[in-house]
Amino acid sequence: MRVSAAAVLLCLAGHAAGDCIGTTSQVFEDMHGGVAKLMNENFYTGEFSIEPYNSTENWVVVGQFDINCCATINVTGTSIYPQSGLLNLSMWEMQSTDETLTRLGIELAEVNEPARPKNFWVLGHWPRRSAAPKKLRGAAGVQPLQCGIYTREFGPGLVFEDIHDGDEKALKVSHKNELTIKPSGNDQSWEVKAQLDDKCIASVDFDVPGKPNPPPVPLKAQVWGMTSIAGVDKNAILFSDPSGTIADPSAILNIWAQDN
C-alpha cells in the first residue's frame, strides 16, 4: 500500500457548509463503471446525494462534504466501483495545462488505501474557460518538464493509475516532449510513443505489439492539472476520440491519474 503525507492532508475531519459541486444538479461521467452519476448538494449543510443518471438502476447514496470537499460514502447495494463498502470521495478542480479550460472531478479510493484512486468521475458537459487560471506547481524531489508531467531523469518513469483498465501505466517525457508509455505493475511488455504539442496534447496509437485490447483508433491524450481544496496538486491525462468512432469527440473516455 502506498500512502503519502499528501493523502493525509487531502481530507480533514469536520463538517462545514460550502459549495463543492454547485447548487444545481451535476452529472458526472463514471470512467470505470460506465453509468453516469447525478449529484445534488445542499449548499448550507454540505450534504449531498448520488444516484444513477439515465439508467434503469435504482439506488441513492447520501453523504456530507467536509471543509475540503471530501466525504466517506457507503456504496453497499449500488453499482459504484470499487465495491468495498466504504469509499473515500474527494472533489478536485481540474485545469488544462495550457490554462484555458477547467473541469470538476470526483475521485474515489478505498478507505484502507486512500492515496491510490480506483475510480474517477468527471463532469461530462463542461469544460468552461477558467476565470482565474493558476500555474501548476512542481513537487519535491522530481524534475519538472513541459506539460506538467514530472519524471526523474533515471528510473522506470512516473506511474499513473489507469482508471478504465484498472491497472497502472509508467510515463516518461523526453526533453523534446516525446511521451513514452509502458505498462507498470504487471507482466505485460509493450511500448507506445507519442509527441506532445505546445498545448500538451498528443495523438496516441495503442495498437502496438503486446498491447491487449487496444482502441480501434488513435486517441487524443491531454494533460490536465488537478488541485484539491486542501491545496494538494497532481496531474492527470484525459483521453477522447477525435474521430468520433468510439464516442462523441467531446466525451471523456478515460482518465489516468497520479496517486496522492
**Residues 176-194, mean pLDDT to the nearest whole number:** 93
pTM of the model: 0.85
Burial of 147 (0-12, 13-18, 19+ CB in 10 A): buried
447520501: which residue's cell?
A: 62
Sign of CA dihedral 132, 139, 237, 30: negative
Helix (H, G, I), strand (E, B) or coil at 260: coil
Q: How far apart are CA 137 and CA 42, in angstroms?
A: 32
Tell me what pLDDT residue 102 has. 85
Cell matching residue 223: 494533460
β-pair type (158-162, 167-173): antiparallel
Q: Could you state, in order of their start, the residue ranges of all structural domains in the chain?
A: 5-129, 146-258
499528501: which residue's cell?
A: 6
Percent of the chain with pLDDT over 90: 57
Tell me what pLDDT residue 175 has. 77
Least confident span in 135-144, 150-159, 224-233, 237-246: 135-144
Beta-carbon count within 10 A of 227 CB: 16
**Residues 193-199, mean pLDDT to the nearest whole number:** 91
Tell me what pLDDT residue 55 has. 93
